[in-house]
Structure 1
Amino acid sequence: GCASGHEEVVRVLLDSGADVEDHNKYGFTPLMEAASAGHIHVAKVLLEHKNDINTRSNKFQKTPLTLACFIEPAEMLRLLLETDTNQEYKSYEMHAALIAASINGHMEVARLLLDSGAQVTMTNSSETPLTFAASRNLVNLAQLLIERGANIEEVNGDGYTPLMQAALQNNEEMIVLLLSEGADVNAFRNRETKETALVMAENSCLEIADLLIKAEADNEFFISLMEEGYFDFV
């Protein structure tokens, strides 16, 4: 009933003693099923019966809050955000949801999360919303994240800055935005491997390389790497 949105069926089952925290074969609770399908009326019934918003799925550790961020419009997410829960848990989950919104380019979801206090940066997270937005050329979302305080030089778990991610994916519009916001074109991912945004653009079209060079990328350093046989630029 939760996945298909049958509110009255769910209510009857719960009144008959059905376990509100029961997990299905995919490890989802009834509230997770309702959240992922966008069935807001079913979710309200489940919350009335104290379905735990903090519960995680058996696989991939999903929660109702992170599952709801895949749905637009964002009414399901709004309902869950208004539900009382542990604040430390909520802060972590809102950041995780913001990352998911950045992966999917859901502006409405991202804006709601930010308005509700989601942190654009968390010290214990290996990924950042801005690097995800940069890799997918989601310019409007990246602009929103920057306006809300995203660190333009923050690196993800692999050491990439947003500009590096944009260069890797040949995202010209994103590169223009990040450079206009002051991104360091000569930042190193790793000094031992000598990787900069320009180096990462080795397989990009020449327009990308030219854009970075005009932004004062260290072209002499790049040429020296070519002379050392570091890579063949095409």
Structure 2
Amino acid sequence: ALDGSSALLLATRSNHIEIARALIQAGADVNQKNLMQDSPYLLAGASGHTEILKMTLAHGADLQSTNRYGGTALIPACERGHVETVAVLIAAGVDLNHVNRLGWTCLMEAIVLSDGGPAHQQIVTQLIAAGADLNLPDS
């Protein structure tokens, strides 16, 4: 693709689970970034494509990799209300207290950038239960 997206990234974007599975099993790099700094792993997390996310985690996803905002996969997953995806990323060990370039953590994004509905309430509960730092200020 013109933006440097790999076949796996394109499959991830469209949530084509079987295509993604075939590419990953064939050795596609789950951490390869395009020009926008998205990787299959990061995009699956941000998009709530949990099945593909699980495959990337099983095939060497870099939990410390960050998107163009300097955020982990967990931060946009929290902001967008992807409850199951957040649970998977917490279990995988993504840093709960990572601060992105905007000065925000996943917990802040789940609270401030959300509608406060049931999905975001569940995410905040998950983050607190997992030990997120409740006292990190924003920038």
Would you call these one fold, judging by a TM-score over 0.5?
yes
Supply the distance in 2 between the matched residues of 1:71 and 1:121 (Cα, whole angstroms). Answer: 22
Deviation (angstroms), 1:93: 2.6
Identity of aligned residues (%): 26
Identify the residue that residue 113 of structure 1 maps to in structure 2.
127
Q: Which runs of 4+ in 1 moved over 6 A?
A: none
Highest CA radius of gyration, 1 or 2?
1
TM-score (norm. length: structure 1): 0.47
Residues 1:91 and 1:63: Cα distance change in structure 2 (over 3 Å): closer
1:43 aligns with 2:53: yes
* Matching residue within 74, 77, 80 for 1:71: 80
TM-score (norm. length: structure 2): 0.77
Q: Say which SS state the counterpart of residue 82 (structure 1) adopts.
A: helix
Supply the distance in 2 between the matched residues of 1:55 and 1:112 (Cα, whole angstroms). Answer: 22
Per-residue CA distance 1:25-61 (angstroms, 9 max, x = gap): 211111111111111111011111011121012x211
RMSD between aligned alpha carbons? 1.9
Supply the distance in 2 between the matched residues of 1:91 and 1:15 (Cα, whole angstroms). Answer: 29
1:31 aligns with 2:55: no
Higher relative contact order (CA 8 A, sep 6+): 2
> Match of 2:98, as an amino acid?
E
* Matching residue within 76, 79, 93 for 2:98: 93
Q: Say which SS state the counterpart of residue 88 (structure 2) adopts.
A: helix
Residues 1:84 and 1:111: Cα distance change in structure 2 (over 3 Å): closer
Residues 1:73 and 1:22: Cα distance change in structure 2 (over 3 Å): closer
> Match of 2:44, as an amino acid?
A
Identify the residue that residue 81 of structure 1 maps to in structure 2.
90
Residues 1:99 and 1:24: Cα distance change in structure 2 (over 3 Å): same
Q: How many residues align?
A: 120
Identify the residue that residue 208 of structure 1 maps to in structure 2.
none
**Is there any run of 5+ residues in structure 1 with no aligned partner, and where?**
128-156, 158-234
Supply the distance in 1 between the matched residues of 2:96 and 2:108 (Cα, whole angstroms). Answer: 13
**Is there any run of 5+ residues in structure 2 with no aligned partner, and where?**
1-10
